[in-house]
Amino acid sequence: MSKITEILNQVYEPFCAIVAYRADGHYSNSTSYYLEQHRINQNGILGAGKPLKQKTMVKLFSAISQANKQLDSSLYGAVPDNVLYCDTRLGNERLVWYRKPEERMLYFTDSLDIPNGRMKVPGLVYVVRGKTLSVYAYKGSKPKSQLFFAPFMNTSEESVCLGNSKVVFPEERTFENIIGYWEKMFWQSEFSHILGDNPCLGNLATITKDCILNGKAFPSDMLKPAKKKLQDLFK
**114-131, pLDDT tens digit by residue?**
999 999 999 999 999 988
- Please give the span between the terminal C-alpha atoms of the chain, in angstroms, as a whole number: 28
pLDDT tier, 163 (very low <50, low <70, confident <90, very high otherwise): confident
> How far, in Å, CA of 138 to CA of 31, rounded?
53
Alpha-carbon separation of residue 100 from 19, 78, 132, 189, 225 (angstroms)? 52, 20, 22, 21, 18
Q: Is residue 101 within 8 Å of 193, Cβ to Cβ?
A: no
φ and ψ at residue 3, rounded to 5 degrees: -65, -40
Nearest to 184 by CA among 199, 162, 205, 208: 162
0.75 surpassed by pTM: no
* DSSP category for residue 221: G
Contact between 95 and 74 under an 8 Å Cβ cutoff? The reply is no
Confidence band (pLDDT; 50, 70, 90) for 32?
confident
User: Pick from 154, 167, 159: which is nearest to 106 by CA?
Assistant: 154
In angstroms, the CA 71 to CA 197 distance is: 29
- Percent of the chain scored above 90 by pLDDT? 54
Average pLDDT over residues 68-91: 79
